[in-house]
Amino acid sequence: MGDVLLALSIPVLVFGGGIYAACDCWWRRRHPAPPSPYTHRAARLAEQDMLLLAEEILDDAYAALGPLYDAPAASSAPGPAGPPAALSSRSPRPSRPASRPASTPDRAPSPPAAVRKP
């Protein structure tokens, strides 16, 4: 008799575990847990820390490289008013008439590409 009870207890335990899992799933779907305020607060704090770190990095970079981007000093010698000599020696481009479009005016549209078969 002891062997029969042991053999029958296994299916009873499996069936009982299935019933418990189904009821637990149903209960959790009907009564969801509220969102934890700690996770939202932790995300906000992490975002603030990240923004402060990024601001510090930008401030350090500007302090190191800012003089490169500042306007030239007034004490530097003024250059010629025109373009550099290398550019001014070339002949100026003729202006296009208003009747021609700006894109490739001398060519016809190219033919479509051939279709490749795999």
Determine the Cα angle at 103 with ends 101 and 107, to 5°: 95
Q: What distance in Å separates the CA atoms of residue 104 and residue 98, rounded to the nearest whole number?
A: 14
Q: What is the pLDDT of residues 48-63, one digit of tens each?
A: 999 999 999 999 999 9
Least confident of 22-31, 79-88, 108-117: 79-88
Q: What distance in Å separates the CA atoms of residue 44 and residue 50, rounded to the nearest whole number?
A: 10
Please, which pLDDT band fits residue 93 given cuts at 50, 70 and 90? low
pTM of the model: 0.32
The secondary structure element, H or E, covering residue 39 is: helix 37-69
Q: What is the pLDDT of residues 14-26, one digit of tens each?
A: 999 999 999 999 9
Instruction: Identify the residue with better confidence: 95 or 2.
Output: 2
Task: To the nearest 10°, report the CA torsion of 13, 14, 20, 25.
Answer: 170
CA dist 109 → 97, 98, 114 (Å): 20, 20, 15
The secondary structure element, H or E, covering residue 87 is: helix 85-88
Distance linking the first and last C-alpha atoms of the chain:
73
Instruction: Identify the residue with better confidence: 22 or 105.
Output: 22
pLDDT over 60 (residue 111): yes
